[in-house]
Amino acid sequence: MIEAHEVEAKIRAGVPDAQHVAVEDLTGTKDHYRAIVVSAAFAGKSRVQQHQLVYASLGALVGGDVHALALSTFTPEAWAAKQG
Amino acid sequence: MDDATREQIQKMIEEHPVVLFMKGTKNFPQCGFSATVVEVLRRSEADFFDVNVLEDPAIRQGIKDFAEWPTIPQLYVKGEFVGGCDIVREMYESGELAPMLEAAGRS
């Protein structure tokens, strides 16, 4: 188990240019999270590569304290477009 | 991960066009995320080789290092890591997955 703000802090520290990071506890059990991450570092990367960047920032957390992490990654442009 | 495990993984993803590393088997998935990918592949009418990581701890950890991806399931098409449950489902829904599976099926 780990607090949402700790997951967020790790992502902010580990993903370069993380402009927006939102972490949500999906089940209230502090081990199934959803995270939205917006970073210019995702530009030109495939979805898998973007998610690998986020997983790298979390190290052994995912698969350990965090059983599942639903990730949504965006470049600043894609995020702005999504906001509409 | 030791070389033997790496070679074993490499061999599997090269020998079979579509490989799913999962918890359980295609007929008896033992995890919701794995079952979701099995269902996506069934609906795509894609034949695939299932690897039950629960039967082999070395593969279970090795595949995470291999793909730099910390969770199971993991889908491979023509030797390339495609993604885990969320990405495969998103690709299925966007129509990105079908052509990839068809091309692999013909190879």
pLDDT-based confidence at residue A5 (cuts at 50, 70, 90): very high
The pLDDT score that the predictor gives to residue B107 is 67
Under 8 Å CB pairs connecting chains A and B tally to 30
Tell me how far apart the alpha carbons of residues B71 and A72 are, in angstroms, rounded to a whole number: 16
CB A61 within 8 Å of CB A10:
yes
The interface predicted TM-score (ipTM) is: 0.81
Residue B103 lies in a domain: no
DSSP-derived pairing of the beta strands A68-74 and A32-39: parallel
> In this complex, do B64 and A63 lie within 8 Å of one another by their Cβ atoms?
yes
Domain tally, chain B = 1
Query: Which range marks the domain in which residue B58 is found?
Result: 3-98
CA dihedral A6, A12, A14, A19 (to 10 degrees): 160
CATH number of A4-83: 3.30.300.90
B31-65 per-position pLDDT tens digit: 999 999 999 999 999 999 999 999 999 999 999 99
* CATH code at position B76: 3.40.30.10
Beta strands in A1-84 (DSSP E): 18-25, 32-39, 68-74
Contact map slice: A 59-78 vs B, CB within 8 A: 60, 62-63, 68-71
Tell me how far apart the alpha carbons of residues B95 and A26 are, in angstroms, rounded to a whole number: 27
Which residue from B33, B68, B86 is facing A52, i.e. has the nearest CB?
B68
Which residue from A62, A63, A71 is facing B86, i.e. has the nearest CB?
A71
Q: Is B105 left (phi over 0), alpha (psi -120 to 50) or beta?
A: alpha
Residue B105 lies in a domain: no
Residue B106 lies in a domain: no
Residue B52 lies in a domain: yes
Element (H, E) at B76: strand B74-77
Closest by CA position to B88, among listed B98, B79, B78 = B98
A16-67 per-position pLDDT tens digit: 999 999 999 999 999 999 999 999 999 999 999 999 999 999 998 988 889 8
Largest CA distance in chain B: 37
